[in-house]
Structure 1
C-alpha cells in the first residue's frame, strides 16, 4: 500500500473507512499516521453509524477518543451509513472540499 501511495502521481487524497462501532485498531492508527507524515490529504469516513445504539449516538459522533487516537481534526471526519444513506451528502461534500483544497495548492 505504501509503495502505491508513494508512487501515485495522480493521488489527490485518501478516504479511509473506519467502523464506527469499534475503536480504531493499531493498523488504523499506523496508516492514518503514515498519511499524515507524507502530507496526504485524508478524510476519515466513520461507517455503519446506523448500527450504533441510541446511547452511543446520544454521546455524539465521532466519539471523542476517535479524533485523538487517529490524530485527526473534526473537519477530517464524516459519519455515514451505506445502508440508510445517512451522511452520504456530507461525505460527498467533504470529498469535494478535499479536492478543492488540493486544486488550490
Structure 2
C-alpha cells in the first residue's frame, strides 16, 4: 500500500471534483505548514507535490492517485495574506463544503506548525470537525525544530485545547525533514482506508 502515486488533477470548483468514487484523504492546514512536504514524505517521493519557498502556492484542490485505488487531496492553505480576500473566501467556502458534504472523504489530516500555537483558522477547523463523522488526525509539523521538552509542551497544550471542546483525536509529531512520525502517519492513513 502507498507504493505508487501520481498527480491526476487540480480542481477549483465542486463540479470538477472526481466522480469515480475512490476514497479520499484530505490534507488541510495553513499556508506554509508543510502539506506538500508531508505528502512527499508519506509517499517517499521528493517531487510528487510541488514544495515552494513562498506560501500560498497551492491554489487548487490537488488530487494524487495512490496505488490506483485512493486519492490524497492537497487543499489550498488558509491564512495567507497576499491572496485576495475574494479568493480566500472562495477557498474557505469550497473547503468547508468539501469537508462537510464529500461522500468519498474517509479522513482529514489537519497539519499544524508545532512551533506555534494553533492559529484562529486552526481553531475554527478544530471546532468545525467536532460536528463531523469523518475520522480526524492532527499532524504537528516541523517537530525537528523543537527540543524534546518543547515537543512535549506542544502536544500537551493541544490535548488540553481538544479536551476543552470535547474531542480526543490522534496527534502525531512529524518532520518531513527528519522522517519523525512518518511511519506512524502511514499506519493511520492505512487504517482510515480500511
- Whether TM-score is above 0.5 comes out as yes
1: CA distance, partners of 2:157 / 2:180: 22
Alignment check: 8 A CA contact 2:111 2:141 kept: yes
CA displacement at 1:52 relative to structure 2: 0.8
Shift of residue 62, structure 1, vs aligned partner: 4.6
Equivalent residue in structure 2 for 1:92, among 168, 176, 186: 186
1:68 aligns with 2:165: no
Higher mean alpha-carbon deviation, 43-52 vs 90-99, is at: 90-99
Deviates more, 1:90-99 or 1:41-50: 90-99
Unaligned runs of 5+ in 2: 1-94
TM-score (structure 1 length as normaliser) = 0.79
Task: Please give the root-mean-square deviation of Cα atoms over the aligned residues, in Å.
Answer: 1.9
Pair 1:3-2:102 in alignment: no
| Deviations, residues 9-68 of structure 1 (Å, cap 9, x unaligned) | 1101100100000111121111121112122210000000001134414xx265311112
Distance 2:148 2:100 in 1: 41
- Contact preservation (8 Å) 1:46, 1:80: yes
Secondary structure in structure 1 of the residue aligned to 2:106:
coil
- Which residue, 31, 42, 47 being the options, matches 2:136? 42
Q: How many residues align?
A: 97
Query: What is the SS of the residue equivalent to 1:23?
Result: coil
Q: 1:8 to 1:43 in 2, by over 3 A?
A: same
Runs of at least 5 residues in structure 1 that lack an aligned partner in the other structure: 101-105
Q: Distance in 1 between matches of 2:128 and 2:104?
A: 18
Q: How does 1:10-25 map to 2 (within 5 A)?
A: 10-25=104-119
8 Å Cα contact 2:172/2:181 also seen in 1: yes
RCO (CA 8 Å, sep 6+): is it higher in 1 or 2? 1
Which ranges of 4 or more aligned residues in structure 1 deviate by more than 3 Å? none
Which one has the bigger strand percentage?
2
Distance change (3 Å), C-alpha of 1:88 and 1:61:
farther
TM-score, normalization: structure 2? 0.45
